[in-house]
Structure 1
Amino acid sequence: MSIGNSPEDDHPSDDRLAQHRPAPDGPAQERPADDRPSIGHVLRQARIDAGLSVDEISTSTRVRVPIVQAIEQDDFSRCGGDVYARGHIRTLARAVGVDPAPLLAQYDEGRGGRPPAPTPAAPLFEAERIRSDPRRPNWTAAMVAAIVAVIGFVAYTAFSGDDGDGGRQQVAEDTPPASGKPAPKPSAPKPADPKPDPSDSAIAGVPRDKVTVKVDATDGRSWISAKDHNGRLLFDGLLQQGESKTFQDKQKIDLVLGDAGAIQLFVNGKQVENEFEPGQVERLTYTKGDPEVG
């Protein structure tokens, strides 16, 4: 006979513990969100099923390879904020043929269901900047070479013109023309018309052999970036509300809009109707045959 509690009293039996466990179908067992595959897993599996590589997705969406890889690993810290993370998820989902709405809802649920807070434009310059081609030509050297060629041509023309005038004068003095009429003076070459630079007035009479895109920040400010068909950066910066930019190229214009909901577009003289949301990041391409969303 022992005094005090027995060892069995210090350690409750499995039956006693079972009395305190929640029922299998109780609230503690309902975890439907945890059973869903992660956002990164869905996007990665859809890309693999579509037979696309990370480099191909990056090229088609203009989302840089490190950001694509990070999102497929459910790391959204490189996106520059919730607004841009949602924009990347929407863009990648469309590229691999997945409905972005459930993924965006899952992303918001993972952050307490709160709507994305406004994100300053500064992080976008690092996360979404259109990178210039590292192999692009040395424009400074090309401009210097062109200036030297123009100076040489002008000098050659000047000396040749003096010699030609002297020769014609000598001929006129020694052997006058048979007709008795003075030889006609050569007409000066007509200077070529300078090419008009793209400006806000260019939208009024856009040429048919080029593509002209006007970006108007009517509903707020937005960061924008624009490139021509050679990948040359035309503009990269913040467009304040009420400001506008016009870009022109002979083949195409590539755009990235940091806040597409604040932008109104005019392509080849026609207004482009869009349903962009505030804070939505959009990548667009326009050609001579547009307007249509690129």
Structure 2
Amino acid sequence: MSKSFGITINRYSYTPEAYAYKEYLARRGVDVQLDEASMLDPAHDVHIYFMGVLPIWRKRGAWKEIHEYQSLSTPRLSRLKDFVKKNISREPDSRIFLNESVKDKLRFKDAKPYIFRDMGVDDALFQKPNLNPSFDIVYCGSISGRVGLVEEIKRLADLGFSILVVGAVSIEIRNFLVRKGRKVAFTGRVERKDIPELYRECRAGLNYTPDLFPYNMQTSTKSLEYLASGLQVLSNRYQWSSWLSNEFPGCVIWLDSISEYRYLEIMPSKSEKIENYRWGNILDKSGFYDFVLQGV
């Protein structure tokens, strides 16, 4: 008899892990429901919750419950947020953490089983790049909360780079970036399935992450996606991007080294290491399947 899972998603944020889990489990004959927490079927064998707060007083059923922590809380009052997240939420049966840093900072005192599971890349993004793309640079993702990002996009545009911004952007930011002589285009919010083709229209991908805790120790999924698509990565310097530069020599260009327009080379012979970051390989390495079904 096949097992069934309920995995939380919400309308406010895209959670690629949830979709990767569904595809990975479905290939193994597991039925998966992706939905808001309140809409998950209580008859499922397993529920995975991306935390958040799941209050102690909210009744749980007989399912195996797994809490996932992809990140630490963001400023301001990040330590207080993590304290509340940890102490008001009900106890799970097991946990999944992005990495050791997230686990160590949350400081759970119990002995619940856990695994580490890094971010991965969708299969569709492993593609042959277009050798004649329309844009020099793509930025994909959230702009709000990334102090300095808009100014960096403006600086690169003023140097002469053509830039494609993928994702929701406010009217105020659009008006700030769109000026005579600048080549900046906006897609607005797009479906995940459309992203590979948008990446193929660019030579390099921009990663700009404030060098602040906890942002600076968390995986930049879009940087891995850029590499999978054969793009260079343009990045500011911080803890995780330094790791990326060492892991993929020659694939990262530091933003502070760019003071004038330069031709950006596409990387059709991208490092084979990026194959390790396909979602299937990430989940295999973490032992995800045996872990989530243990005791079910």
Q: Which has the larger radius of gyration?
A: 1
TM-score bracket, normalised by the shorter chain, equals under 0.3
Higher share in helix: 1
- TM-score after normalising by structure 1: 0.22
Return the TM-score normalized by structure 2. 0.22
